[in-house]
């Protein structure tokens, strides 16, 4: 039985894109937020389970990185394809396929009997995550047209995207500590069932267009380029920046992305219409998301190391330690994006948010071996929560604004790609700098237990300073690139005008 056979009647949603608000729009927001939660939780919940999984399945530390890398490579490289498929085949259909596939792959991973089975399941998770994530965001983009409601919806969605990592730390710690590491995979099945029920009940159907073709040269070069870049930064972290493998991968990735852009410029049906990137505000928003992805790595990884290794927190308490940031981020993102963005625009809202985030990382850079959670960690978390709350909802809103229904999926893939590439850069850059600083400290102060602890904190502090500089640079980027004043909303009239400028084949895509 097809998904369309169990879909609600088209007439229920007849007003959704014709200027009349869909009366189920808040249920649609709930649906796509729950679906997106699977993807953002998975980024950190699995990391917490890795040591236990390694002991249970008896794989090496060298192999362990592939549990993370397999997912990142598949997810990051296929996001553009997933976004375009949601445009061509219908967001509801692709979102449901993505949710079901992600849940099944999670079940296989939870039942893994060895390294190969677990790594393969993680790669398959990445494939279906690349379908799910842009379809969820594009569904949100085409559902909310009113500026105030759109701001509120994207504030909530942005808060989930920004804070999901912290939730994953808490959930992963609890599941690993009180149940079993396998439940860090099985939890996606529980979330997936809830999301699937909501999707079948509330998401509007979209008809398949069998005559629409994909830009296969663009698919191949774009996916290969992203794989090379993400894998290259991963190798820089595990090998070195001067490793021939790292250099070849990064250089090859740049060449492939250049070839991809050249192909897209000439293609009649491009995988990524370059007009999506040409818009000044959308380009600025996607760049800000990439930059924040680099800086965010310093918040989660190094602070998690600090509270566990220095303060002695358990995995569960490490996750709970991030709750104040989570609460502030959700409140600021939802309220700020709903009230400030329609009134003042993204320029100063995002710039101030990046600057405040930089200040929060400066606080973390003051950590010492004898520092306390209440004295340094908590104030830094609260400041970071305010900063990221101002950034995430606004940037995601602007990155997907005014793209037209036919390009909503591919424009929604770009913020996810920015987060993936930014995270890969942050992992390689900050880890390398922190490890070098710690090694230099030990060479100067000996290798006693006290010196090892101080060296670890010394490396963390350097990473926090660099991440703070990254956010400060992001503030400058936002202030220079975003236009002044409110950004025109994606009203139905605007979407229709954009669609009318498309090619005849593209204009018919739902």
Cα 473 to Cα 83, 295, 353, 480: the distances in Å are 29, 10, 12, 11
What is the distance between the alpha carbons of residues 76 and 470, in angstroms, rounded to a whole number?
Answer: 22
Same domain assignment for residues 196 and 239:
no
Same domain assignment for residues 273 and 149:
yes
Same domain assignment for residues 326 and 371:
yes
Q: What is the pLDDT of residue 33?
A: 86
What is the distance between the alpha carbons of residues 87 and 81, in angstroms, rounded to a whole number?
Answer: 10
Residue 14 lies in a domain: no
Residue 107 lies in a domain: yes
Same domain assignment for residues 64 and 81:
yes
> What tokens were used for 108?
């296989």
Q: What is the pLDDT of residue 368?
A: 94
Q: Which residues of the chain have pLDDT under 50?
A: 1-19, 488-510
Residue by residue, DSSP assigns 386-419 as: HHHHHHHHHHHHHHTTT--GGGHHHHHHHHHHHH
Q: Which of 245, 266, 287 is the last residue of a domain?
A: 266
Same domain assignment for residues 294 and 321:
yes
Residue 7 lies in a domain: no
Same domain assignment for residues 355 and 234:
no
Residue 380 lies in a domain: yes
Residue 357 lies in a domain: yes
Same domain assignment for residues 303 and 421:
yes
What is the distance between the alpha carbons of residues 488 and 62, in angstroms, rounded to a whole number?
Answer: 50
Max Cα distance, the chain (Å): 73
Where on the phi/psi map is residue 312: left (φ > 0), alpha (ψ -120 to 50), or beta?
Answer: left
Domains: count for the chain: 2
Of how many residues is the chain composed? 510
Q: Which of 246, 266, 286 is the last residue of a domain?
A: 266
Q: Which of 231, 246, 266 is the last residue of a domain?
A: 266
Residue 79 lies in a domain: yes
Same domain assignment for residues 349 and 429:
yes
DSSP secondary structure letter of residue 12: G
Yes or no: say if 295 and 474 are a contact pair by the CB < 8 Å rule: yes
Same domain assignment for residues 305 and 401:
yes
Residue 365 lies in a domain: yes
> What tokens were used for 372?
């306390």
Task: Summarize pLDDT for 426-473 with one digit per residue, the tens.
Answer: 877 888 888 889 999 999 998 888 999 999 999 999 999 999 999 999
Same domain assignment for residues 195 and 227:
no
Same domain assignment for residues 457 and 488:
yes
Q: What is the pLDDT of residue 61?
A: 66
Q: Which domain holds residue 245?
A: 216-266
Contacts of 431 (CB under 8 A, 6+ apart): 237, 301, 463
CATH number for the domain that contains residue 444? 1.20.1250.20
What is the distance between the alpha carbons of residues 12 and 183, in angstroms, rounded to a whole number?
Answer: 38
Same domain assignment for residues 281 and 230:
no
Residue 8 lies in a domain: no
Helix (H, G, I), strand (E, B) or coil at 144: coil
């Amino acid at each position: 039985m097809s998904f369309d056979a169990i879909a609600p009647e088209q007439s229920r949603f007849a007003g959704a894109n014709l200027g009349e608000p869909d009366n189920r729009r808040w249920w649609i927001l709930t649906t796509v937020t729950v679906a997106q939660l699977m993807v953002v939780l998975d980024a950190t919940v699995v990391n917490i389970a890795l040591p236990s999984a390694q002991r249970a399945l008896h794989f090496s530390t060298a192999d362990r990185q592939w549990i993370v890398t397999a997912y990142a490579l598949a997810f990051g490289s296929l996001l553009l394809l997933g976004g375009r498929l949601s445009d061509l085949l219908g967001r509801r259909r692709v979102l449901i396929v993505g949710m079901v596939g992600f849940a099944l792959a999670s079940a296989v991973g939870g039942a893994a009997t060895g390294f190969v089975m677990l790594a393969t399941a993680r790669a398959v998770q990445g494939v279906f995550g690349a379908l799910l994530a842009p379809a969820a965001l594009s569904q949100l983009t085409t559902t909310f047209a009113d500026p105030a409601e759109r701001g509120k919806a994207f504030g909530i969605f942005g808060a989930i995207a920004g804070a999901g990592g912290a939730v994953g730390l808490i959930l992963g710690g609890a599941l690993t500590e009180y149940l079993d590491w396998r439940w860090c995979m099985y939890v996606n099945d529980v979330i997936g069932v809830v999301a699937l029920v909501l999707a079948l009940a509330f998401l509007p159907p979209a008809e398949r267009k069998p005559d629409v073709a994909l830009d296969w040269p663009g698919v191949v070069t774009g996916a290969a380029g992203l794989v090379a870049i993400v894998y290259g930064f991963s190798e820089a972290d595990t090998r070195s920046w001067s490793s021939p493998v790292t250099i070849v991968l990064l250089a090859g990735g740049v060449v492939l992305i250049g070839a991809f852009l050249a192909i897209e410029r000439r293609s009649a049906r491009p995988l990524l219409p370059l007009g999506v990137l040409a818009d000044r505000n959308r380009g600025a928003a996607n760049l800000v998301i990439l930059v924040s992805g680099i800086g965010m790595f310093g918040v989660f990884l190094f602070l998690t190391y600090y509270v566990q290794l220095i303060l002695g927190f358990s995995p569960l308490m490490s996750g709970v330690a991030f709750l104040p940031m989570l609460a502030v981020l959700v409140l600021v993102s939802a309220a700020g994006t709903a009230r400030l963005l329609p009134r003042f625009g993204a320029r100063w809202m995002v710039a101030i948010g990046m600057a405040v985030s930089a200040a929060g990382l400066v606080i973390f850079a003051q950590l010492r071996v004898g520092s306390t959670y209440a004295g340094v960690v908590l104030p830094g978390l609260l400041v970071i929560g305010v900063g990221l709350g101002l950034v995430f909802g606004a940037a995601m809103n602007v990155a997907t604004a005014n793209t037209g229904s036919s390009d909503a999926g591919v424009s929604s893939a770009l913020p996810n790609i920015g987060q993936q590439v930014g995270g890969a850069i942050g992992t390689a850059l900050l880890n390398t700098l922190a490890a070098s600083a710690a090694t230099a400290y030990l060479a100067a102060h000996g290798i006693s237990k006290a010196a090892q602890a101080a060296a670890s904190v010394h490396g963390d502090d350097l990473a926090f300073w660099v991440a703070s500089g990254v956010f400060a640079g992001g503030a400058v980027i936002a202030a220079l690139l975003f236009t002044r004043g409110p950004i025109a909303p994606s009203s139905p009239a605007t979407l229709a005008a954009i669609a009318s400028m498309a090619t005849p084949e593209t204009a018919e895509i739902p």
